[in-house]
Structure 1
Amino acid sequence: MSNIGFIGFGLIGGSIARILKIKEPDCIITAYSRSAQPLLEAKKDGNIDIICTSIDSSFNCCDYIFLCTPVQYSSDYLEKLKPVINESCIITDVGSVKEYIHKTVTQLDLEKNFIGGHPMAGSEKTGYSNSSPYLLENAFYAITPTAKTTDEQLKKYVDLVSKLGAIPVVVDYKQHDYSVAGISHLPHIIAGSLVNLIKDSDNSDSLMKRLAAGGFKDITRIASSSPEMWEQICMTNSSAIASLLNDYILSLTNIKRNLENHNANYIFNLFEKSSEYRNSFDDNSYGLDKAVYRVNCDIIDTEGSIAKLANLLADNHISMKNISIVNNREFEHGTLRIEFYDLIASNKAKTMLNENGYTVHEN
């Protein structure tokens, strides 16, 4: 029987606790949070067994302790946990930046008891009340061991992450921070700066804002993210972001110079190269050889059309894993993106939908 501890209990912590209680109902969950309300709510839901009002010996029996607090508080909590944990306990975190906490762990001589973690999942909503046992399902979960993490500890932690329904990815913490700076942190900065540029450049009638359509909204959607969270991320991963931002500025400067010189060949090559690389992304995979079985299906925007399609698949014993509406103009008509659990179900669905007059786009 596992004993799992939580320091902080919001969206991520609550979601992890929920799925743990489903997968292992007998596990003991001990939790501390500065706010008592989510703990009381979770205790009522049956997702917490022991509520703590401080970091004390209640955590001594824990096999794992999830540190689910803002990064700037991690040092204080690690210092408080050090004297109370048992020798085999593994402390882990859920932060999107790893170098900061790894340095603290090294300074506190806790490398034998720490493995970094970054569940790459979330929601625009926060707090335990918005947590879900399915939040981490099929999401990448970066795992960053220390220099003193044993093979046995790492294997057990990878197994735990897999139990949560996530996809474990073991990576060096510095490489992790540089990678997420490129694919997440820098794009958020670019999206925010682009939105502010349009805001400052628009006329008194807000013509740009009124004309903004799919393309602009797609590439700036992430500009709506939490300012507090992104201030913290940028401040704790500033070195990696600044390095990539410098490369990006040099790239933009080069583009600007070639535009001013009317170098059509350069501009053509810019879009050709980016198009080839973007098209190399496998839309049928979550990455790292994790296959996704998906079809895109045109659908007329009429009352009950989605329900009719879902009932058709259900009547033919085809289970859907996920369904969503395509939010871009890649397809002329309204389009549903439907995911299935395996290739057999995907192929059966394609045949069934085609036979019933639906237009199915191959992925």
Structure 2
Amino acid sequence: MKKTTIAVLGVGLIGGSIALSMRRDPEIRVVGYDVRQDRLDKALTSGVIHAGTTDLQTAVREAHIIFLAAPVEQIFSTLRMLDDLELQSDVIVTDVGSTKAEIVREALKVIPPHVTFIGGHPMAGSHKSGVEAASDRLLENAYYVLTPSAGTSEQQVNRLADILSLTRAKVVQMDPETHDQVVGAVSHFPHVLASALVNLVAGYDGDDGWHARLAAGGFRDITRIASSNPRMWRDVLLQNREPLLKIAKDWANALEEVMDLVKAGDADRIEQFFQTARDFRDGLPERKAGALPPLYDLYIDIPDHPGEIGRITTLLGARQINIINLQIRETREDIYGALRITFQSQSEMEKGEELLRYFDYNVYKRV
């Protein structure tokens, strides 16, 4: 039986993670494409792909499914290039962009009639980037949204969904416009808010630097997504313009309403404002993957003694528990500080928590 060939165009974090998932099936051959040979070399030596090339035609010629695993703006240019290339007659082309309506419209205009395009959005990410951060578990239990157009063959949609089962993601379907509205509200607009808040505080920060000093801790947590790639988010906002303009208008109205309550001194309704938000927020699944990657953090009380951090990391390392970040918070001389440890996944976090509790450390999920 002839192997299924998967072409992954862009072997970064998402493309590499999809490629690793596809390799679970021995009957699948994964070909990687990238404009940079060094990225392909990393993907090859780490076993992410079976073969790699910087020639687009070579990458897609035998492919049965093509993943466009590139930033949003590059997806458009790649779609246009596919129109001039030799492709299999039953090939499925899909993308991983976080906006869908504009991409689907462009694909329907430029791809050949014998090619099936199905928009896709794997709703998972990581605090790291590049193929070296790729994992066959990155998409596990995350939502993977498919946005087929009205005339797309159901058989082809099912075929793609079957292949995506190798990622162990939850594959769901949505029309492109609905996707962009939902993701605009829960992912794109929060990035705007986080960056706007950081810029506001930066503008307040005078020569004494008090805003920057006191903005550590919780402020860093709620604005962490402001550290995202500026160029990527520029393109996302421009491609999802209409939903975001509507969301921004609704947000401005909501903010004006609560500030009117503050102006009027309406204590009961101010409290209700926070209560309503708290009820909805507390009802969200804490560790489920969504539009924004979850944080897998533990906080550990540690005395301000030499060697304590080294002991903790040694304990975790001896059990092959992967740590992706460490941060000391609220440390004071001769008293307990708080060490925040960020893990790669929920399972790693749970193993770390069990181990540290066994060695009598006080471990918390939040501080």
Q: Same fold (TM over 0.5)?
A: yes
Distance 1:240 1:326, change over 3 A: farther
Cα-Cα RMSD: 3.7
Partner of 1:281: 284
Distance 1:34 1:359, change over 3 A: closer
Partner of 1:183: 186
Contact 1:6 1:13 (8 Å CA) reproduced: yes
Contact 2:301 2:363 (8 Å CA) reproduced: no
Q: Which runs of 5+ in 1 are unaligned?
A: 288-293
Contact 1:299 1:335 (8 Å CA) reproduced: no
Q: Which runs of 5+ in 2 are unaligned?
A: 291-295, 331-336
**Alpha-carbon distance in structure 2 between the residues aligned to 1:88 and 1:328:** 55
**Alpha-carbon distance in structure 2 between the residues aligned to 1:322 and 1:269:** 40
The one-character-per-residue Cα deviations of 1:187-223 (angstroms, maximum 9, x if unpaired) are: 1100101111111112320111111243322211111
> Is 1:233 the counterpart of 2:236 in the alignment?
yes
**Alpha-carbon distance in structure 1 between the residues aligned to 2:156 and 2:186:** 29
Contact 1:320 1:340 (8 Å CA) reproduced: no
Q: Secondary structure at the match of 1:117?
A: strand
Which residues of 2 match residues 42-57 of structure 1 at below 5 A? Answer: 42-56=43-57
Partner of 1:94: 96
Question: How much does 1:226 deviate?
Answer: 1.0
Question: How much does 1:246 deviate?
Answer: 0.6
Contact 1:121 1:139 (8 Å CA) reproduced: yes
Which residues of 2 match residues 237-252 of structure 1 at below 5 A? Answer: 237-252=240-255
Partner of 2:145: 142
Distance 1:296 1:204, change over 3 A: closer
Distance 1:202 1:145, change over 3 A: same
Partner of 2:293: none
Q: Secondary structure at the match of 1:34?
A: coil
Which residues of 2 match residues 266-277 of structure 1 at below 5 A? Answer: 266-277=269-280
Structure 2 length-normalised TM: 0.78
**Alpha-carbon distance in structure 2 between the residues aligned to 1:308 and 1:5:** 41
* Count of residues paired in the alignment: 343
Counterpart amino acid of residue 162 in structure 1: S
Answer with 30-39 or 60-69: which moved more: 30-39
Partner of 1:76: 77
**Alpha-carbon distance in structure 2 between the residues aligned to 1:55 and 1:334:** 47
- Identity over aligned pairs, percent: 31
The one-character-per-residue Cα deviations of 1:85-130 (angstroms, maximum 9, x if unpaired) are: 2221110101111111100122236686011111122234333333
Partner of 2:116: 113
Counterpart amino acid of residue 275 in structure 2: E
Structure 1 length-normalised TM: 0.79
Contact 2:141 2:169 (8 Å CA) reproduced: yes
Q: Secondary structure at the match of 1:118?
A: strand
> Is 1:31 the counterpart of 2:25 in the alignment?
no
Contact 2:328 2:339 (8 Å CA) reproduced: no
**Alpha-carbon distance in structure 2 between the residues aligned to 1:41 and 1:359:** 40
Distance 1:55 1:142, change over 3 A: same
Q: Secondary structure at the match of 2:70?
A: coil
Counterpart amino acid of residue 35 in structure 2: R
Q: Secondary structure at the match of 2:223?
A: helix
Q: Secondary structure at the match of 1:204?
A: coil
